[in-house]
Amino acid sequence: MTRIDEPRRIDGRSARAERTRRAIVDAHLALLREGDLKPTGERIADRAGVSLRALWTNFKDLEALFTATSERLLEQVDTDFRAVDAKQPLPKRIDEFCRQRSRMLELIGPSARAARLREPFSVSLRRSRSRHIGRVRTELEELFEKELAALGAARDRVLQALTVATTFASWSMLRDELGQSPDEAQAVMAHTVGALLQEPHQL
């Protein structure tokens, strides 16, 4: 009897542990979105409805929590992501791509702002930022493959410029430093992407 029930107990403990971990990560993200860019363990545990001991039992240190939070954010980004049809005319692709990038950047914005405070000291956060940039670069290469190929020797330079224009550093400049609304920032992004892809480029 014991041998039959033991796997059930183990499965039950694992499920509870996973729910606790998810609650902690979601609490961390919620606090970041509310503007608490450096929430303490106490505040995260309180929001999650768990003890501080439970928090550090499930995450051995801040790096482990940052890693789990980054993974959860990527899940949310992937859920909201809708691939743009690469067969559409260029103006349509630019419009749809920039609309989607704006949504994605608003979604990751609070976490990205918080990450900037800790990135110099966190391998996990630097790795997460590199992943986000790499994903955008790949999307740009696939969605605008024909236009980039037509640029010849200027291709890589323009791709670099497109990456800069559509990742969080530029979005933060528009939103946080220049005070633009999401719609205004999106319009600037679309203008920049269009100019880079459609204007002639001298070597």
Task: Rounding to the nearest 10 degrees, give the CA dihedral for residues 91, 97, 102, 105.
Answer: -150
pLDDT band at 201 (very low <50, low <70, confident <90, very high): low
What digits encode the pLDDT tens for the residues 80-89? 888 899 999 9
3-state DSSP call for residue 203? coil
Contact 12, 20 (CB under 8 A): no
Please state, rounded to an integer, the average pLDDT across all residues of the chain: 90
- H/E stretch holding 118: helix 90-118
- Answer for the pair 50, 24: CB distance below 8 angstroms, yes or no: yes
Question: Which of 9-13, 61-65, 98-102 is most confident?
Answer: 98-102
Residue 48: is its pLDDT beyond 50?
Answer: yes
Contact 110, 32 (CB under 8 A): yes
Neighbouring CB atoms inside 10 A of 130's CB total: 10
| Closest to 129 (Cα-Cα) out of 146, 140, 117 | 117
Residues in CB range of 11: below 8 A, 6 or more apart: none
Contact (Cβ atoms closer than 8 angstroms) between residue 189 and residue 99: no
- Check residue 187 and give its pLDDT: 98
- Does the model's pTM come out above 0.85? no
| 31 pLDDT tier (thresholds 50, 70, 90) | very high
Predicted confidence at residue 76, as pLDDT, reads: 87
- List the domain boundaries for the chain: 1-59, 62-203
CA angle in degrees (0–180, nearest 5) for 110-140-144: 150
Q: How far apart are CA 27 and CA 19, in angstroms?
A: 12
Tell me, what's the pLDDT at 81?
87
Average pLDDT of the residues in 177-197? 97
Is the separation of the CB atoms in 147 and 117 below 8 Å? no
Q: How confident is the model at residue 199 (pLDDT cuts 50, 70, 90)?
A: low
The CATH number assigned to the domain with range 1-59 reads 1.10.10
pLDDT in tens, 120-154: 988 988 998 998 999 999 999 999 999 999 999 99
Closest CA to 129 of 115, 142, 139, 117: 115
Residue in 102, 85, 83 with CA at minimum distance from that of residue 193? 102
In this prediction, residue 7 carries a pLDDT of 60
